[in-house]
Structure 1
Amino acid sequence: MLSAQRLIGLPVIDEKTGHRTGKVLDLWFDEHWSLRGFLLKARRWWFKRYYDAALWESVTACGSDAILISDKSAVKRLEAAEIGRTFHTGQIRLKDLPVITDEGRQLGRVSDVYFQGFQGTPITGFELTDGFVSDLIEGRKRLKIPADPELLKLGENAILVPARCEHDLEAFVTESG
Structure 2
Amino acid sequence: MIKLQQLIGLPVVDLHTGKQAGKVKDALFDEHWSMQGIIVDAGKWLHPKDAIVQWDKVTSCGTEAVMIDGMDSVMPREKKAAGRCFQIGQVKLRDMPVVTVQGSQLGRVSDVYFEPIQGTQIVGYELTDGFISDLLEGRKWLRTPEAFDTVKLGEDAIIVPAYCEMQLLPVAPSDSNIGRNER
**What's the offset of the Cα at 1:26?**
0.3
Q: Deviations over 1:74-123 (max 9, x none)?
A: 01112233332111000110000010000000000000000002264100
How many residues end up aligned between the 2 structures? 172
Q: Work out whether 1:90 is the aligned partner of 2:89.
A: yes
Give the TM-score of the pair, scaled to structure 2: 0.88
Partner of 1:27: 27
**What's the offset of the Cα at 1:3?**
0.7
Q: Work out whether 1:38 is the aligned partner of 2:38.
A: yes
Partner AA of 2:31 in structure 1: E
In structure 2, the residue corresponding to 1:73 is in which secondary structure? helix
Partner of 2:9: 9
Partner of 2:77: 78
Unpaired runs of at least 5, structure 1: 44-48
Unpaired runs of at least 5, structure 2: 177-183
Partner AA of 1:172 in structure 2: V
> Is the Cα contact below 8 Å between 1:12 and 1:66 reproduced in 2?
yes
CA RMSD in angstroms, aligned pairs only: 1.9
Q: Deviations over 1:114-133 (max 9, x none)?
A: 00022641000000000111
> Is the Cα contact below 8 Å between 2:109 and 2:126 reproduced in 1?
yes
Instruction: Indicate how the Cα distance of structure 1 residues 65 and 57 shifts in structure 2: closer, same or farther if over 3 A, else same.
Output: same
- Separation in structure 2 between the aligned mates of residue 101 and residue 80 of structure 1, nearest angstrom: 33
In structure 1, the residue corresponding to 2:149 is in which secondary structure? helix
**What's the offset of the Cα at 1:157?**
1.3
**What's the offset of the Cα at 1:174?**
3.0
> Is the Cα contact below 8 Å between 2:33 and 2:153 reproduced in 1?
no
Partner AA of 1:16 in structure 2: H
- Separation in structure 2 between the aligned mates of residue 164 and residue 109 of structure 1, nearest angstrom: 17
**What's the offset of the Cα at 1:23?**
0.1
Partner of 1:166: 165
**What's the offset of the Cα at 1:162?**
0.7
Q: Work out whether 1:58 is the aligned partner of 2:87.
A: no
Instruction: Indicate how the Cα distance of structure 1 residues 88 and 175 shifts in structure 2: closer, same or farther if over 3 A, else same.
Output: farther
> Is the Cα contact below 8 Å between 2:21 and 2:42 reproduced in 1?
no
**Percent identity over paired residues:** 49
- Separation in structure 2 between the aligned mates of residue 4 and residue 28 of structure 1, nearest angstrom: 11
Partner AA of 2:149 in structure 1: E
Give the TM-score of the pair, scaled to structure 1: 0.91
- Larger strand proportion of the pair: 1
